[in-house]
Amino acid sequence: MSTSPAPVPRHGLEVDVRLEDRDVELALRLAPGETLAVLGPNGAGKSTLLATIAGLLRPDRGTVTLGGREVSGPHAWLAPHRRRVALLSQEPLLFPHLDVLDNVAFGPRSAGAGRREARETARRWLTEVGVEDLAGRRPGSLSGGQAQRVAVARALAADPDLLLLDEPMAALDVSVAPALRQVLRRVLAGRSTVLVTHDVLDALLLADRVVVLEAGRVVEDGPTGDVLTRPRSAFAARVAGLNLLAGRWEDGVRTPEGRLVHGSVVGPQPEPGQEMVAVFRPEAVSVFDHAPGGSPRNVFEVTITELEPAGGVVRVRAGALAADVTTRAVPDLDLVPGSRATFTVKATEVSVYLASANPT
């Protein structure tokens, strides 16, 4: 059971800035208690945005307001340590000379807490992220996933008004990232957060809203589900290449169209009626010109809507679904817009998640 108190949403963010030498002009808002995912290609301005909010960069004009308090602008400039903002990067950056407990206690101690109180806070957050048994270890003896969990605990122990996450899972092994993603999903609920990521799953599972940056400008801004299922920018369309079917839990994900999608549940077992999403990659989909034999768990009778080259394969779209096939398979299966086909995908290739990061 969680030992940390639920955060009280009270700190919104408003950014409206211009940085001339980087040709970055950004305007966005974050509601109190909201998690905002920021997507975009390299050089789009994502790191510039975080550095500006954190106070590591000073814009040429405009303002940054946190919780109604101007922290950067014509009337104020607060140094990074006075902004009550925590920045967590790809690398944990733990203090090598301190053990895990004192690393996490550093924030409360810097804010004036006594040694005992700071360590109690540190233990609470280490328990929250599932690494309380590492309290006496030095950072050099930790695995990458362990160190990043400790870094999350250290950031949250400082009780920031705003948490900034700069691709926190980018440096982790693919087998470790899902566990940390579940930790973040739990501890970010109700906490004002800006998350920069390249992974559509991070946005899908952790964020209430998504902003897409291109060439230093906001080109898309909206609820996560809207941006990922109905992208309006070229980049959002590329990163939203996953098949994503939303619905309610019914021993599988029952979509509004009546499909029942079976897969592996990631996280706690859902309750009947909970809003869920089933996610699988186009390359996991098999395509047939008629229903196959056997009994695959997930079978979709579809009408082809579009074919497009995708590297060395052809992406076959059928409304909200997509499958990747070889170029030779296109004529063999007579795949053309308007033709009927059958898509199948094994349940083991489908991951099922709760639909929102902050369920109400």
Domains, the chain, ranges and CATH? 13-240 (3.40.50.300), 244-354 (2.40.50.100)
Q: pLDDT digits over 71-99, tens only?
A: 999 989 999 989 999 999 888 999 999 99
Residue 244 contacts residue 314 (beta carbons within 8 Å): no
Q: In which band, very low, low, confident or very high, does the pLDDT at 10 lie, cut at 50, 70 and 90?
A: low
List the beta bridge partners of residue 165: 88, 195
Average pLDDT over residues 230-248: 77
Residue 128 contacts residue 121 (beta carbons within 8 Å): no
Which residue, among 137, 8, 160, 161, has the nearest Cα to 149 in the 3D structure?
Answer: 137
Q: pLDDT digits over 107-140, tens only?
A: 999 989 999 999 999 999 999 888 999 999 999 9
pLDDT number for residue 360: 34
pLDDT number for residue 201: 83
pLDDT number for residue 36: 97
Going edge to edge, which strands form the sheet with 193-196? 85-88, 162-166, 193-196, 35-39, 209-214, 217-223
Average pLDDT over residues 198-213: 89
Residue 30 contacts residue 67 (beta carbons within 8 Å): no
